[in-house]
Amino acid sequence: MTSNSSIAFGKEGSRRTSDRGATLLADYLKAQRGVPSFASRASAARHFLHWLRLRRVPLEQVDAAVVERFACHRCQCLGYGGQVYSQQEAHRPGYITNVRRFVGFLEDHGGIPVPEDLAPVAARRPAYELQLIALGYSSGTRSMLASAAEHFVHWLHLSRIAAQDMDDRHVERFARHDCRCFLCRKHGTLTDSGVIRRRRGGASFLQYLRDCGLVPPRSALEEDPRLADFQAWLTHRCGVTRQTTVRYLAEVARWLSSLDKDPRTYDAITIRNIVLNQPANRSHRSVQLTAIVLRSYLRHLVAGDACRPELVHAVPYARRPRYAGLPRFLSPATIEQIIASCDTCTPAGLRDRAIILLLARLGLRAGDICQLGLADIDWPTARLRVDGKGRRATQQPLPQDAGDALLAYIEQVRPTVREDCVFLRLQAPFRPLKPSAIACLVARARTRAGVEDGPSGSHVFRHSLATSMVRAGSSLEAVGAILRHQSPETTAIYAKVDVTMLARVAQPWPGDASC
């Protein structure tokens, strides 16, 4: 039994809770009059306020955890007239629902502060549901994701989590929470499928909020904050593409932990060791990337007066002798074998054949394929507009077989959605393919064709096209035009595969010369 002195609220915080709560309680009871369950609602509201005063919990600190504590407490609270509240009644789900209803009233009337930036998040739900339709989700999946988004927003509200603090950890907490949310949904034992649905729905809505700019990007919250600063510098100061930004951030994240958090402590030895102490299995091109990205990262720090400018020159150059290697290519017969392996009776086969033909006939990069838009295809003139490296746009001729395959894919397979990119996922969400997806479908085509030897990856089609052109007598200038090389020196490596030209300029070996 609680003593009368406890009810007297000797502490100032409890007195403020009592006075403010009493005023809001009167307003709540006035609003609830005439409701059939008025007596139960009034009892639950009075009981909850009384328990808050006993526990000296300010109204400002009330959240889902406090309500859960109230639901689990061993009740010995005194009600009106000195009667003890019924412990059995206090633990009834309907009783706790009435408590949550009262908490919602307090939130709406300023009695309990809630994060202000959650209002725009909740307002985005209708637009999110429209995006689900645009992405081609089935009605059942849309309903599940929309319901999970509503639940997620409600849970964030109850947990007092601001939008600026949201991250993937909150999605996992939401997926596994013991739901007592004030929503019309099933309660009971949480199954594995329920966790999966919540996680999928919460993660999908969180990514949508990130895309809208209402929630900070993942790198700003869950990774080193230095990555977020570097990302902003690359995007706003350097104007690099999204693909380059992603590649640079991944490289920086690989070795950033080896640097002190204070850039003023960096020295030349530490900087050089990042480039020199590479794993043995890293290629020369990967080491070059490390040097380039490290130099860019240091320039970013210098621009913010965070480190000494001379450290930029401490980064060693991972140079490779020009033309040191040979282009890696496949024979024309092997290329045709890979193209023929695509089953044109299936949606995946039609799509993959169109992609591989564009790779093989035009020497497009995987990134070019992913960025290709419907507006980039000029059907009357049979030309493609390709945005290559450095945002340089060029017009490329579209061969007949590649054009036929592209048209068949668009007419028979491509989903009818608002997305402008040509090549999309075959299942919802119908988002554009990524370069990694292009590499995977090429690998599957090689396996179907039984091609086990030789170079792999989507870029091998580009090398193979250039090699075939040179051996067929095309000039290096023509090859450079097809491959969209900015410098003739980039194309010069293909002179190594011109066997006829090399035979004309080769000198006899001294040992074979007659005396």
Chain CA centroid to CA 302, Å: 29
Is 389 annotated in the active site?
Answer: yes
Active-site option among 47, 124, 160, 459 = 459
Q: How many Å apart are CA 253 and CA 248, to the nearest integer?
A: 9
Q: How many Å apart are CA 271 and CA 269, to the nearest integer?
A: 5
Is 91 annotated in the active site?
Answer: no
Q: Report whether 263 contacts 303 (CB < 8 A).
A: no
Q: Report whether 96 contacts 71 (CB < 8 A).
A: yes
Active-site option among 46, 365, 414, 463 = 365
Q: Report whether 245 contacts 231 (CB < 8 A).
A: yes
Backbone angles phi, psi at 424, to 5 degrees: -125, 165
Q: Report whether 462 contacts 364 (CB < 8 A).
A: yes
Residues 6 or more apart in contact with residue 168 via CB below 8 angstroms: 203, 206, 218, 222
Is 284 annotated in the active site?
Answer: no
Q: How many Å apart are CA 336 and CA 74, to the nearest integer?
A: 77
If 0-12 CB within 10 Å is exposed, 13-18 middle and 19+ buried, where does residue 352 land? buried
Is 485 annotated in the active site?
Answer: yes
Active-site option among 389, 434, 444, 448 = 389
Other C-beta atoms closer than 10 Å to the C-beta of 50 total: 19
If 0-12 CB within 10 Å is exposed, 13-18 middle and 19+ buried, where does residue 76 land? exposed
Q: How many Å apart are CA 372 and CA 384, to the nearest integer?
A: 9
If 0-12 CB within 10 Å is exposed, 13-18 middle and 19+ buried, where does residue 374 land? exposed
Residue 345 per-residue DSSP state? T
Is 47 annotated in the active site?
Answer: no
Q: Report whether 74 contacts 87 (CB < 8 A).
A: yes
What is the per-residue burial (b if ≥16 Cβ within 10 Å, else e) of 20-40? bbeebbeebeeebeeeeeeeb
How far, CA to CA in Å, does 431 sit from each of 48, 146, 204, 347, 422?
Answer: 49, 18, 13, 16, 10
Active-site option among 53, 462, 463, 484 = 462
3-state secondary structure 355-387: HHHHHHHHCCCHHHHHHCEHHHEECCCCEEEEE
Is 154 annotated in the active site?
Answer: no
Active site positions, annotated = 365, 389, 459, 462, 485, 494
